[in-house]
Structure 1
Amino acid sequence: MNTHLHVTAWVLAFILFAVAIVLHKLGNEKAAKIVQMILRLDYLLILYSGGDLIANYFGGSPMLAEAIVKGLAGIWVIGAMEMTIAKIKKGKPAMSGWIQLGIAVLITLILGFGRLPGGFM
């Protein structure tokens, strides 16, 4: 159950992230701020469901270290999203945010769907 909640929450986060970026680029700051606040509430849902998923590994699982790294990479995704939005909002180059976001998402997806139980493999 929590896996579905977690995946739904981060898919929603990527959608809200894209909408916030588009609204900032279009100059609609009020709507962008509202979307960004909803995105931040979604981060709480991601952190709760992700923390619950990681807690399942604390029973002596040999995959505990990978689960912790995945959790840290997930937190890095949230930080990179926030950094990217902030730089775009200020009109500064956001390439470093995009690069970090790409790397963090890649690590998170590889560990979440490729290595840890409950993924595709």
Structure 2
Amino acid sequence: MNAVPYKALLESHVGGWEVAIVLLIVAYFLYRAGKEKAGKIVHMLLRLMMVIILVSGAWMLFTVHASEVYFYVKGLLAIIAFGLIEMSLGRAKRQEGSIGFFIGCLVVLVVVIMLGYRVFS
């Protein structure tokens, strides 16, 4: 693959993760503070970032890293993280106990990011 499109995919993927973490934290605290309308807007922006992350990650996985099982594990954990994000924000929106899902989500996100930077080899 040409270096320029790969770099663009990589930058959109990494930037997407950075923005998604910030949006997750903001949305969670907006919902917990009872600001449902603002939380919903931030939640929708977070979903947009998750789509960008998913598309750029799948594109890189199937074009560049297709033979590396390491990145398939990272992709699977990322999908689990997306599920935890939705569960924690859904519970926070309904004002139910959500701190466990939120902390679990942050832990899985940290593991996914560490896998992306190849901290675990």
TM range (shorter): 0.7 to 0.9
**2:117 aligned counterpart, secondary structure:** helix
**1:114 aligned counterpart, secondary structure:** coil
- Report which stretch shifted further, 99-108 or 22-31: 99-108
Gaps of 5+ in 2: 1-7
Gaps of 5+ in 1: none
**1:57 aligned counterpart, secondary structure:** coil
Question: Following TM superposition, by how much is the alpha carbon of 1:86 offset from its aligned partner in structure 2, in angstroms?
Answer: 0.8
Matched residue count = 113
Match of 1:79 among 72, 80, 83: 83
- Report which stretch shifted further, 73-82 or 99-108: 99-108
Match of 2:19 among 12, 30, 38: 12
After TM superposition, the score normalised by the length of structure 2 is 0.82
Query: In structure 1, what is the Cα distance between the partners aligned to 2:75 and 2:25?
Result: 22
State the percentage of identical aligned residues. Answer: 32
After TM superposition, the score normalised by the length of structure 1 is 0.82
Q: Which aligned pairs between 1:73-112 and structure 2 lie closer than 5 A?
A: 73-112=77-116
Tell me which residue corresponds to 2:52: 45
Spell out structure 1 runs of 4+ moving beyond 4 A.
Answer: none
